[in-house]
């Protein structure tokens, strides 16, 4: 047995593109050939075709100061103009840009012309507040149109946004404000979540009061009225969005900026230490955002209705809610609230209402819906869907199949897209209409990218072997650094394998050379000297008909080094009387894994639980489960979406 992933690699289901899909597909086989001939030239061609450059670039990649890259350096463009005005000028001003759905059921629609006007007014407001090129603006908003308007307004004037997810605490917000020295915070009184208003402004007030002497870099707080909850008001600092926008000029001419102008900072947690401010710039980022959004999602902007369920607080919200779709002139849906408010069919109701044709969501959501049962989506008309995407974690083959069968009527392609905050845009994915799909595998690097799997010595592993995922050549939307910390950038990403970008993910190539992601390398277990991946055992558990979701950790074990410990959520429709049967089910699941993968992978313990600890972006925090499995005090839970979850799990296990 080699390294344990064989179970996943024995997945034999294959889905060829249908003739219809192939005939109408945006992507084509030729893209790979073209890109292979000359990568930088390929990206230059894509950029010139997909974007409007006020000053065309004459250079593509400059890697002479590696690992600090520039792309299209002597070109000039305006990112917001590319996402807005040019569509209006091309005669598409009446096309809907945003269909926004509030959690309580209110809705707002913006055409491209209307969105352009709103962004112009917001840009003028920022200028009136003294914000200019290079200044940092923190955005701490719910999923409301103003979040997108703010980001584009900041981009339009050459300033830099730092979006902080609305679920983060005052402390986290303050740390991010300080690190970027933000001059302005854009927030809301509150937003709707799980059926009630969740206040936001108090967190901003608290964040700015943390040092007690008001000495933060923030000069103003611009407040959108959304929750209508009472808020404290600081006269010389706070301004209502509607007052300022109400008196702003509606005309603003976008000025071009050099391609390497910083566009945004987005903080992401490292394994240890303070969050890293990942820096992205303009021309290269927008090129790959637009290219991937068009080709991976097979976007036909005249007819498609696209919905990415991500919050703008995450990279997926930046690239695939704001910049990619709008650069491509897409019509999209955005939704303020949680999937279960006010009822568990809310997502499917939204798809039915807006006739969504392309859905981009996370495996954690899909597995949650699996757990609730297909009767919920089956009650809605989902026939408008023609393409499904997945991002954020490995998607187990069973969840992939469920997604295609239940949500996609057994017909839609499912694209599993691997990428990171740092990569800025999708890196590994099938191309719909071109690639034969394999459930559970992210499959192939996109055209124009060079991705390898290396062993510890830095040698490419070849087919049918596992190792570490690297990006071997610079790419247009790559991070340009860590804000204020160039050494940490070099150390974190470029020193494991000199000259190559170390992603921190384990991966394996199958017999065809397709890529299977195995999770972060810190999730790899070592049981009696065998390397086992959490993803593989989790997939085996999820393939059991009674299991909806599973998380596996390696817990320290005196004899085997580590032992496999599994936490399992049972499907609701098959729950039965769990109290009585938990032991029997645990035994059955241990045997199931053993027969599917081998005795070495058999979990030492299986706990049936009601919840799993997840970050706000839906990634399972295995570190906390490891604490539990090893009988330690549970570590820092502040980044959990629901900080009570660990108590619930501890109680489940004790009971």
The reply, when asked if residue 44 is annotated as ligand binding, is no
Contact (CB, 8 A) for 284 and 477: yes
Which residues have CB under 8 Å from 11's CB, separation 6+? 397, 438, 439, 440, 441
The reply, when asked if residue 195 is annotated as ligand binding, is yes
Residue 423 Cβ, how far from ligand 6R9 at the closest point, in Å? 8
The reply, when asked if residue 417 is annotated as ligand binding, is yes
The reply, when asked if residue 255 is annotated as ligand binding, is no
The reply, when asked if residue 571 is annotated as ligand binding, is no
Distance CA 161, CA 263 (A): 7
Helix axes 145-156, 112-128, angle to 10 degrees: 60
Q: How far is CA 132 from CA 14, 47, 186, in A?
A: 52, 26, 15
Q: What is the DSSP string of 148-161?
A: HHHHHHHHHTT-EE
User: Which alpha helices (H) appear in 436-574, and where do they start and end?
Assistant: 486-494, 534-542
The reply, when asked if residue 520 is annotated as ligand binding, is yes
Cα distance between the two ends of the chain: 37
Residue 389 Cβ, how far from ligand 6R9 at the closest point, in Å? 9
Distance CA 545, CA 33 (A): 42
Query: What one-character DSSP code corresponds to residue 321?
Result: I
Q: Which is nearer to ligand 6R9, 261 or 421 (CB)?
A: 421
Q: Which is nearer to ligand 6R9, 167 or 258 (CB)?
A: 167
β-strands 160-163, 136-140: how paired? parallel
Residue 619 Cβ, how far from ligand 6R9 at the closest point, in Å? 6
- Give ∠ CA 549-551-554 in degrees, rounded to 5: 160
Q: Which is nearer to ligand 6R9, 345 or 618 (CB)?
A: 618
Residue 506 Cβ, how far from ligand 6R9 at the closest point, in Å? 9
Q: Which is nearer to ligand 6R9, 85 or 393 (CB)?
A: 393
The reply, when asked if residue 47 is annotated as ligand binding, is no
Binding-site ranges for ligand 6R9 (CB under 6 A)? 268, 314-316, 391-394, 416-421, 442, 503-505, 517, 520, 617
The reply, when asked if residue 174 is annotated as ligand binding, is no
The reply, when asked if residue 459 is annotated as ligand binding, is no
Q: Which is nearer to ligand 6R9, 298 or 505 (CB)?
A: 505
The reply, when asked if residue 194 is annotated as ligand binding, is yes
The reply, when asked if residue 116 is annotated as ligand binding, is no
H/E run at residue 590 = helix 578-596
Q: Which is nearer to ligand 6R9, 116 or 533 (CB)?
A: 533
Exposure of 631 by Cβ count < 10 A (0-12 exposed, 13-18 middle, 19+ buried)? exposed
Residue 524 Cβ, how far from ligand 6R9 at the closest point, in Å? 12
Distance CA 495, CA 276 (A): 17
Q: Which is nearer to ligand 6R9, 520 or 623 (CB)?
A: 520
Residue 592 Cβ, how far from ligand 6R9 at the closest point, in Å? 23
Residue 166 Cβ, how far from ligand 6R9 at the closest point, in Å? 16
The reply, when asked if residue 505 is annotated as ligand binding, is yes
Q: Which is nearer to ligand 6R9, 17 or 392 (CB)?
A: 392
H/E run at residue 21 = helix 19-24
Omega prior to 342 cis, within 30 of 0: yes
Residue 438 Cβ, how far from ligand 6R9 at the closest point, in Å? 13
Q: Which is nearer to ligand 6R9, 450 or 616 (CB)?
A: 616
Which residues have CB under 8 Å from 28's CB, separation 6+? 433, 434
Residue 268 Cβ, how far from ligand 6R9 at the closest point, in Å? 5
User: Backbone dihedral region of 61: left (phi > 0), alpha (psi from -120 to 50 degrees) or beta?
Assistant: beta
Q: Which is nearer to ligand 6R9, 272 or 559 (CB)?
A: 272
- Give ∠ CA 402-404-407 in degrees, rounded to 5: 80
The reply, when asked if residue 305 is annotated as ligand binding, is no
H/E run at residue 205 = helix 201-209
Residue 479 Cβ, how far from ligand 6R9 at the closest point, in Å? 10
Closest CA to 271 of 627, 631, 5, 621: 621
Exposure of 439 by Cβ count < 10 A (0-12 exposed, 13-18 middle, 19+ buried)? buried
Annotated binding-site ranges for ATP: 392-394, 416-421, 505, 520, 531
Known binding residues for CoA: 193-196, 316, 528
Binding residues for Mg(2+): 542, 544, 547
- Binding residue numbers: 193-196, 316, 392-394, 416-421, 505, 520, 528, 531, 542, 544, 547
């Amino acid at each position: 047995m080699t390294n344990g992933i064989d179970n996943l690699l024995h997945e034999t289901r294959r889905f060829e593109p249908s003739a219809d899909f192939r005939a109408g597909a945006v992507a084509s086989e030729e893209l790979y050939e073209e890109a292979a001939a000359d990568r930088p030239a390929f990206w230059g061609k894509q950029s010139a075709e997909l974007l409007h450059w006020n000053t065309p670039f004459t250079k593509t990649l400059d890697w002479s100061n590696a690992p600090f890259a520039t792309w299209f350096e002597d070109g000039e463009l305006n990112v917001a103009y590319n996402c807005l005005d040019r569509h209006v000028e091309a005669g598409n001003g009446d096309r809907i840009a945003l269909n926004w759905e509030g959690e309580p059921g209110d809705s707002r629609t913006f055409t491209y012309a209307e969105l352009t006007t709103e962004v112009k007014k917001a840009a003028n407001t920022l200028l009136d507040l003294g914000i200019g090129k290079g200044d940092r603006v923190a955005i701490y908003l719910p999923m409301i149109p103003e979040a997108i308007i703010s980001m584009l307004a900041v981009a339009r004037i050459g300033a830099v946004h730092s979006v902080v997810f609305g679920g983060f605490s005052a402390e986290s917000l303050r740390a991010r404000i300080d690190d970027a020295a933000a001059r302005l915070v854009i927030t809301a009184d509150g937003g709707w979540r799980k059926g009630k208003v969740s206040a936001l402004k108090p967190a901003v007030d608290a964040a700015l009061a943390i040092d007690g002497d008001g000495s933060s870099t923030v000069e103003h707080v611009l407040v959108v009225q959304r929750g209508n909850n009472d808020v404290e008001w600081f006269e010389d600092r706070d301004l209502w969005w509607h007052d300022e926008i109400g008196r702003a000029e509606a005309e603003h001419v976008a000025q071009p900026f050099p391609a390497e102008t910083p566009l945004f900072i987005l903080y992401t947690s490292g394994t240890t230490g303070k969050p890293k401010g990942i820096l992205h710039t303009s021309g290269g980022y927008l090129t790959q955002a637009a290219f991937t959004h068009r080709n991976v999602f097979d976007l036909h902007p005249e007819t498609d209705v696209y919905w990415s369920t991500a919050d703008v607080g995450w990279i997926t919200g930046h690239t695939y809610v704001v910049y990619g779709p709008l650069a491509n002139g897409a019509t999209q849906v955005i939704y303020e609230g949680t999937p279960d408010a006010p009822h568990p069919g809310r997502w499917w109701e939204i798809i039915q209402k807006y006739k969504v044709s392309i859905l981009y969501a996370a495996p954690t959501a899909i597995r949650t819906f699996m757990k609730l049962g297909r009767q919920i989506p089956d009650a809605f008309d989902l026939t408008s869907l023609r393409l499904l995407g997945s991002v954020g974690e490995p998607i187990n083959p069973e969840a992939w199949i469920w997604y295609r069968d239940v949500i996609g009527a057994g017909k839609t392609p499912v694209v599993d897209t691997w990428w990171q905050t740092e990569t800025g845009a999708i890196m590994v994915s099938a191309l719909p209409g071109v690639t034969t799909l394999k459930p559970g595998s992210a499959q192939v690097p996109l055209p124009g990218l060079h991705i390898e799997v290396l062993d510890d010595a830095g040698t490419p592993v070849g087919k049918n072997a596992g190792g570490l995922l690297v990006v071997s050549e610079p790419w247009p939307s790559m991070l340009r650094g860590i804000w204020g910390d160039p050494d940490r950038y070099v150390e974190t990403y470029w020193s494991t394998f000199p000259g190559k970008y170390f992603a921190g993910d384990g991966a394996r190539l199958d017999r065809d050379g397709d890529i299977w992601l195995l999770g972060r390398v810190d999730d790899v277990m070592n049981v009696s000297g065998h390397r086992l991946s959490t993803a593989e055992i989790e997939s085996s558990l999820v393939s059991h008909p009674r299991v909806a979701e599973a998380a596996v950790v390696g817990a320290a074990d005196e004899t085997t080094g580590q032992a496999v410990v599994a936490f399992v959520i049972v499907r609701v429709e098959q729950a039965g009387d769990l109290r009585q049967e938990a032991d029997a089910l645990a035994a059955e699941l241990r045997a199931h894994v053993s027969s599917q993968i081998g005795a070495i992978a058999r979990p030492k313990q299986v706990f049936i639980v009601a919840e799993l600890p997840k970050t706000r972006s839906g990634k399972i925090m295995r570190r906390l489960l490891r604490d539990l499995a090893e009988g330690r005090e549970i570590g820092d839970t502040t980044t959990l979406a629901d900080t009570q979850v660990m108590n619930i799990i501890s109680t489940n296990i004790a009971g």
